[in-house]
Chain A
Amino acid sequence: MKSLKISIAALIGISGLFIGCQSGGQKKAASATGSDAASSVYVAPGEYDEFYAFMSGGFSGQLSVQGLPSGRVFKVIPVFSVDAEKGYGFNEETKPMLNTSHGFIPWDDAHHPELSQTDGVPDGRWCFINGNNTPRVARIDLKTFETTEILELPNSGGNHSSPFITENSEYIVAGTRFSVPIPQRNMPINLAKGNFKGALSFITANEPGNMTIKFQILVPGFDYDLAHSGKGKSHGWTFFTTYNTEEAHTLKEAYASQNDKDYIAAVNWKKAEEYLAAGNFTEMPAEYAHNYYDERTQSATSSMLKTVKVLDPAKCPGLIYYMPCPKSPHGIDVNPTGDYIVGAGKLSADLTVHSFDKMIAAIEGKQFDGDAYGIPVLKFDAVNIGTVSSGGLGPLHTEFDDKGNAYTSFFISSEVVKWKVGTWEVLDRVPCYYSVGHLMIPGGDSKKPWGKYMVAMNKITKDRYLPTGPEMCHSAQLYDISGEKMKLILDFPTMGEPHYAQGIHADVVKPNSQKIYRLDENEHPFACKKESEARVERDGKDVHVYMTMIRSHFAPDNISGLEVGDRVYFHVTNLEQDWDTPHGFSVLGANNSELLIMPGQTETLVWEPKKEGVWPFYCTDFCSALHQEMQGYLGVGAKGQGGELKWSLGD
């Protein structure tokens, strides 16, 4: 009876597919969703989503916060790119966040969010994300949902295999996608092979304000693509995929795809700590920025660091091994128990699964197949435990559920394949619209996945939404994975180009979300905490305005005696202490953005008036019934003719 039902359902499904084919792609995808899909993603007005999703912004450089299952966008957190809406990178407080050894950089390419973990489980304290272009990592505080720390990475030519945290947030890691001369120097590019090098960095993650490169490992000049840290029994190891073990320097799409196998680098970071403690490292000159936003002073500072501790694998036996993996592996994922390391050969049909136990045995039994620049290469058969032959093409990334299943995205065949960990048999497959890159299950790269939903982040959008000209949003798709079969239940647009994402149950994060900044804890050096203390001070060409804002007026609201050529610092403090009462601040002709100031916060806008006149300023965030009245004037005279500096409110 049951099998009859299934075959009838299959027939209906197939006929639906034919009808779909006749009437175009949209209908086809629609028929792939169940009739109950709408109710399963419906979050009623006033109710909350069950999960937070932190989706990387890719080329936007930001991190967006979306709800699951609704797909709604709650916030775009500026990380590596300036954001005029929030004043990030425009106000004086956050400008230092984007400082690097190359100066102020207003943009980056943000790829992989990673939540902090305690005992291998996402704990909701922080989210980390890598900047690929000018190599950096960032910390986002999940009390305030603001970027609070950014560390630049020396000896890296593109920080892709990052941050991928260890199970107690000891480290986030960073490997270089593009190998470069280390130390940097100009040299003929065609001599790259053997001369370029890579660096794998281990960065302390669980000390806010003290994000430091604990050590770097100098490695052969391959391309270090992705990573994941071990957990459970494999805690203490981090695995990096490599491609271009050919060390080609041009036309890499062909020349970097010649070797039948590339490597998975297995790094024993506990061993690295021993070598570090034994003093077996070099203190190498370097130049890289560490930027920290201090919540007390509500201001960021940037400091330039001058050295980095470097370990040389040749002098540190047992530190790193290479495990062969077919066909330019991309994603590398460790299952929840930490037993298996899954390499996705992106130019093949198959997934390669290595066993952690076999790897340890192979190391102990010295089952080596030669070496690469002195780093032992383990025999493939000695570490391999299984192959997932899926019939798909172009596997990229794997996440896990809480029932012993794995889910792998296939870019070329545009689908997600569900398979059984241990037996490696394929259980189910669903199409993606179109060309999925990363996929994400909340907690899906941790010890305890919430195996209810799976999000596919697709690289191609085409006809999924109303068109918006040549440039369209990227599309994500949500699947219900609570049953045996995966069910597509929602398409939703995303910001920028999400590469990876992380998800976490809302109950872990929501209770800690801060409502205001306490005014009595505001230690901003230019804070003005009482309206009666609002004032204007001139120091040569610099004018400092200590301004307050509260519903619905500024103090002072009229200032005169300014001059063309002055540099006016508006230090504006929001005196509100109520939830959701931000005020904005903008000045006509200011060559930067607005300020968007949260309750209890102080921010600074610099204005250099260029023309004489009386120029208005106003509140940009609709704050009350009298918001339109929240405005003031700035009197500016010609150079040397501004007159006496005066300020007032309600005179």
Chain B
Amino acid sequence: MKHLSKVLMLLTIPLTLQLFFFPLWQITLEAPQYPEGITMFIWINKITGTTEYTLQNINILNHYIGMKYIEPDSIPELKYFPWVVIGIAFLEVLGLFWYNRWYYLFIGALVFALSCLGVYDFYLWEYDYGHNLDPNAPIKIEGMVYQPPLIGSKMLLNFNAISLPATGGYLFLLGNIFGFLSFVLFPKKK
């Protein structure tokens, strides 16, 4: 059993660092005149799209309703989140050497807490983009806000906005589960 717990902790390391290779979250916009689809990918350190021009094209669409331009350079999280991820990976590496049940619980709990904070932060950004609209926007509809859902889909005018975790998000969640399992399966002192 001791062996399994340590292997699980070992696995959390690549499942953390993969965030530099796979996006965390994705928001897809569906409308008839976009048969090729428009999907925006949110990474730990950048925002990309189906093509390299997707973000510009989303911004052009958003300007009709007066939404702020999504400019990755103006989002500080994209600068410091990578360091948080590296920090987590460091603590997990440490777990391979400091073999302590409560330390394992600490890692699991910390990662879970940070994840919740991250999702809450994402919600705040969505709220900000969806509500703080330019009063001079060409299209103004009384009472309409344009906040995409945290998870799930919602019609925003002619677009169906679908927000879901992406590959990196799922893998990171799996890592967190492994982290807790490594605590649960930690061999009790006899």
Q: A residues engaging B (CB < 8 A)?
A: 516, 550-551, 576-579, 624-626, 629
Contacts and interface: CB of A to CB of B under 8 A. Distances in A.
Contacts of A550: 60
Contacts of B142: none
B60 A578 contact: yes
Interface of B: 36, 53, 56-57, 60, 63-64, 138-139
Nearest to A577: B53
Nearest to A580: B33
Contact of B139 (A516, A576, A625): A625
Nearest to B58: A578
A150 to B, nearest CB: 32
B57 A625 contact: no
Contact of A577 (B56, B64, B138): B56
A551 B63 CA distance: 9
Nearest 7 A/B pairs, CB to CB: A577-B53, A578-B57, A551-B60, A626-B138, A577-B56, A578-B53, A550-B60
B135 to A, nearest CB: 14
Main secondary structure of the interface of A (DSSP, over half): loop
B57 A577 contact: yes
Nearest to B138: A626
18 contacts: A516-B53, A550-B60, A551-B60, A551-B63, A576-B60, A577-B53, A577-B56, A577-B57, A578-B53, A578-B57, A578-B60, A579-B36, A624-B64, A625-B64, A625-B139, A626-B64, A626-B138, A629-B138
Q: Is the interface of B mostly helix, strand, loop or mixed?
A: loop
Nearest to B61: A551
Contacts of B60: 550-551, 576, 578
Determine which residue in B53, B63, B64, B139 has the highest number of CB atoms from chain A within 10 A of its CB, and name it.
Answer: B53
Contacts of A625: 64, 138-139
Contacts of A626: 64, 138
Contacts of A629: 138
Given A516-B53, A551-B63, 18 more contacts: A550-B60, A551-B60, A576-B60, A577-B53, A577-B56, A577-B57, A578-B53, A578-B56, A578-B57, A578-B60, A579-B36, A624-B64, A625-B64, A625-B138, A625-B139, A626-B64, A626-B138, A629-B138
Contacts of B139: 625
A531 B56 CA distance: 14
Nearest to B54: A578
A281 B36 CA distance: 56
B25 to A, nearest CB: 23
A11 B138 CA distance: 70
A516 B64 CA distance: 23
B80 to A, nearest CB: 29
Nearest to B60: A551
Contacts of B57: 577-578
Contacts of B56: 577-578
B169 to A, nearest CB: 27
Residue of A550, A578, A629 with highest tally of chain B CB at under 10 A: A578
Contacts of A516: 53
A629 B137 CA distance: 13
Nearest to A520: B52
Contacts of A576: 60
Contacts of B63: 551
Q: Which of B36, B60, B63, B64 has the most CB of A within 10 A?
A: B60
B144 to A, nearest CB: 15
A629 to B, nearest CB: 8
B32 to A, nearest CB: 11
A625 B137 CA distance: 13
A91 B63 CA distance: 31
B136 to A, nearest CB: 9
B4 to A, nearest CB: 49
A96 B129 CA distance: 49
A145 to B, nearest CB: 19
A551 B53 CA distance: 15
Contacts of A579: 36
Contacts of B64: 624-626
Nearest to B139: A625
A161 to B, nearest CB: 44
Contacts of B53: 516, 577-578
A608 B53 CA distance: 37
Contacts of B138: 625-626, 629
A531 to B, nearest CB: 12
B63 to A, nearest CB: 8
A308 to B, nearest CB: 46
A624 B138 CA distance: 12
B46 to A, nearest CB: 18
Nearest to B136: A650
A425 to B, nearest CB: 50
A579 B53 CA distance: 10
A363 to B, nearest CB: 58
